[in-house]
Amino acid sequence: MTTRRKAAPAPPKLLVEERRRRIVELVHQKGRVTVDELVALFGISAVTIRADLEVLDGAGAISRSHGGALPAAAQLDTPLNIKETRHHAQKLRIGEAAAALIEDGETIILDSGSTTAEIARRIRQRKWTSLTVITNALNIAMELSALPAVRVMMLGGLLRQTSYSLAGPDAEQALSRLSADRLFLGVDGLDPEVGVTTPDPLEASLNALMIRVSRQTVAVLDASKFGQRSLSVIAPVGDLDLVISDAAAPAEHVEALRGKGVKTLLV
């Protein structure tokens, strides 16, 4: 008498957006993935995987190739919805560590960006007596809009569609009349010699003012941003008080920061 082997349990099903986010992470981690690999990993059909890849390619998150996908070509200013798919697990940890610094009664500035958006989501999970959040990011303002104890102050200005953020002279004029205990600054590049950078000159000018009106500046960035240089310099690294990143941050850059008196926290 023969006994039948039990079939291996099917992998847990993910929501469409979760699966696509995971695909983008795999492409950037491995440098290339094939349709066959993704079919085996997610336990779904090749037709569904190819549809996922087509959608991600159209959004600029990856580059579709024959039989699989490659990382997308670098852009000068990557749209926020694409940034949010990259290094997501690291950004979650960074957001949690940054939010833990915030004390009840403070006034903080949350710069625009995918990592600062994770800080806003962590703020939503805590109970506050009083907290004031100044931001130039529409998505962050919406994240916090339903919290009765959190007062949200939006800066005006010119809308940057790639980042859902406001910048320009009107934003700077509004910010110049304010002060904050803490700034959480999202950046696109950090080079110990050049400083912290971002692709947009208007955003860089507003970020520099954010630093000037804040008692403490905390830069939040995943390890892929180290050594990168964008078009516009916000400030030298010496203007930062603390950098929060993930454990993959290059040791030589961490040492360079510490040598300039900048504390670092790797999570």
Is-above-0.75 flag for pTM? no
User: Hey, what amino acid is at 167?
Assistant: A
Identical fold at 16-74 and 82-266? no
Among 72-86, 118-132, 219-233, the minimum mean pLDDT is found in 72-86
Residue 149 CA to residue 168 CA, distance in Å, equals 29
Let me know: does 187 contact 206? Beta carbons within 8 Å: no
pLDDT band at 55 (very low <50, low <70, confident <90, very high): confident
Angle at 15 between CA 56 and CA 79, to 5 degrees: 35
Topology classification of domain 16-74: Arc Repressor Mutant, subunit A (1.10.10)
pLDDT for 214 equals: 98
Express as a percent the part of the chain with pLDDT over 90: 65
pLDDT band per the 50, 70, 90 thresholds, residue 10 = very low
Compute the average pLDDT of residues 170-196: 95
Interval 26-51: pLDDT, tens: 887 777 889 999 999 999 999 999 99
Q: Which two tokens stand for residue 29?
A: 């981690």
pLDDT at 25: 80
> At residue 255, does pLDDT exceed 50?
yes
CATH T-level topology, domain 82-266: Rossmann fold (3.40.50)
The residue-averaged pLDDT of 139-144 equals 96
| In the predicted structure, residue 185 carries a pLDDT above the cut 70 | yes
- Residue 85 confidence class, pLDDT cut points 50, 70, 90: low
Domain boundaries, the chain: 16-74, 82-266
